[in-house]
Amino acid sequence: WAGKRNVVVHQAAKISKAAPKVWQDYLDNAKAVAEEGFEIFRELDRLRRLKAADKPV
């Protein structure tokens, strides 16, 4: 996921006067990468909460 995220950021830096089709492709890819990252974040957060719940107070 991190590699895909870096590609999205790099592509954003290169866009200057891109055609609408190119821009839409970029947005579609960025959305997919963001959704994947959000799912990873949710799973990690769930695991952290489980781990924290197992610790004695």
CB 29 within 8 A of CB 8: yes
Q: What is the pLDDT of residue 42?
A: 96
Question: Which structural domain range is residue 40 located in?
Answer: 2-54
Q: Cα–Cα distance between 41 and 38 in angstroms, integer?
A: 5
Counted domains in the chain = 1
Q: What is the pLDDT of residue 39?
A: 96
- pLDDT tens, residue by residue, 4-46: 888 888 877 776 665 666 778 888 989 999 999 999 999 999 9
The residue with tokens 């995220």 is 5
Q: What is the pLDDT of residue 33?
A: 92
Q: What is the pLDDT of residue 15?
A: 66
Q: What is the pLDDT of residue 57?
A: 58
Q: What is the pLDDT of residue 17?
A: 60
